[in-house]
Amino acid sequence: MEDVNSAKLRARLDPDGIGQALALTAEQAASAWKSGLAARVPQGARSVVIAGMGGSALGPHIVTSALGAKLRVPVRVVNGYDLPGDVDRNTLVVLSSYSGTTEETLAALTVARRRKAKLVGICAGGPLAAALSRLKAPTLVFDSRFNPGNRPRLGLGYSVFGVAALLSRAKTLTLSAAEASDAIRALRATVRTVSPDVPMLRNVAKRLAARLVNKAILWSGAEHLEGAVHAVTNMTNETAKHLAFWLPVPELNHHFMEGLGFPKTSVQHLTAVLVRSGLYAPRVAARFPLTADVFRKNGVTVEELKLTERAPLAQAMELLMLGGHTAYFLAMAHRVNPSPNPWVDHFKKALGPP
């Protein structure tokens, strides 16, 4: 793993600047927060549905988990072509598509119009922005210059803070400017500790990546960190081309542990990364050392990440940068370009247009 310290290697494997995009997440966040607060968002919603897929759904998931206690109405994230049956004129439908071309999100727009729902969009342009413009529906069209390579999973600063700002404007979320600024500060502070220029001895993401190179990875966290754990897992799959999945505590305590018995060879290749937080509820926090003990007794390697930020959204951003850089360093260790997603592209091409 010492080669990940090589700027020459990173320049060769990362021509699209995925590492730079990670470093610019705070700039994405600051830009989207400012633009979102200036949007004229429909008022009076009794519920919110956020429609998005893949990387465009990660930001909303982070918002609903990290800021769940600050939501003033029910908010759901929907992945697919359709919307729940209760969506009506009292529902705010947020259409999230980084590229503005996602077919499921465009289909959800059609459903939302038929149900006469309130509409708002967030994207970088494309057909979604054009459709919403024709409908005179407000849209946060963000400036994607802070995301070299234009990969949605690396545009989470736009997604998290853009969606948070739109919900704040809709009076469905209570998030102060000070809280948003603190989370953006956490992004910058964490990047300074895990950037590629920081040597391995002082870089927790590099050290973690070195221990994960030949392991399938289970990422696990709880409560306000579920969305960030989900996002980090996607980054591990897409950026590192590395097998990873996620399960939250306490859910995994009710079934997953019993599956560690067979096949016997599986646990030899599995590492569980348990994300610890001083903000968890006491009964949830008590589960983590017990979970680690069960894993180890079944032959699973356990890594523990202990977060230090003091607010839920700030901690989610801390984890996003720790996990995002871990995925980036895994890509360098595997000698792969972290930008393209050839199998996703192959699948979309084989599926064909709707």
Q: Summarize the confidence of residues 217-239 as an average pLDDT.
A: 98
Indicate whether 180 belongs to any domain: no
Indicate whether 120 belongs to any domain: yes
Asked if residue 158 and residue 71 are part of one domain, the reply reads yes
Domain containing 227 — which CATH number? 3.40.50.10490
- Nearest partner of 26 among 197, 124, 193, 157, judged by Cα: 157
Asked if residue 38 and residue 171 are part of one domain, the reply reads yes
Examine the pLDDT at 145 and tell me if it is beyond 90: yes
Asked if residue 154 and residue 250 are part of one domain, the reply reads no
Q: Summarize the confidence of residues 71-88 as an average pLDDT.
A: 98
**Full-prediction pTM beyond 0.85?**
yes
Indicate whether 343 belongs to any domain: no
Tens-place pLDDT, residues 282-293: 999 999 999 999
Boundary (domain end) residue, out of 109, 140, 175: 175
Asked if residue 208 and residue 90 are part of one domain, the reply reads no
Residue 6: band (very low, low, confident or very high) from pLDDT cuts 50, 70, 90: confident
Please report the pLDDT score of residue 354 as a whole number: 85
Asked if residue 168 and residue 33 are part of one domain, the reply reads yes
Indicate whether 265 belongs to any domain: yes
Please report the pLDDT score of residue 288 as a whole number: 98
- The DSSP symbol for 263 reads S
Asked if residue 287 and residue 209 are part of one domain, the reply reads yes
Indicate whether 63 belongs to any domain: yes
Total domains present in the chain: 2
Asked if residue 137 and residue 263 are part of one domain, the reply reads no
Residue 8: band (very low, low, confident or very high) from pLDDT cuts 50, 70, 90: confident
Asked if residue 265 and residue 127 are part of one domain, the reply reads no
Joined tokens for residue 340 = 């393209």
Residue 196: band (very low, low, confident or very high) from pLDDT cuts 50, 70, 90: very high
Q: b or e along 336-348 (b: 16 or more beta carbons within 10 Å of the residue's beta carbon)?
A: bbbbebeeeeeee
Q: Summarize the confidence of residues 286-311 as an average pLDDT.
A: 98
Please report the pLDDT score of residue 350 as a whole number: 97
Examine the pLDDT at 4 and tell me if it is beyond 80: no
- Nearest partner of 225 among 323, 326, 332, judged by Cα: 323
Please report the pLDDT score of residue 39 as a whole number: 96
Average pLDDT, the chain: 96
Indicate whether 69 belongs to any domain: yes
Asked if residue 200 and residue 171 are part of one domain, the reply reads no
User: Can you give the residue range of the structural domain that contains 38?
Assistant: 17-175
Examine the pLDDT at 1 and tell me if it is beyond 60: no
Residue 142: band (very low, low, confident or very high) from pLDDT cuts 50, 70, 90: very high
Tens-place pLDDT, residues 108-126: 999 999 999 999 999 999 9
Strand order in the sheet with 270-276: 244-246, 216-220, 270-276, 301-306
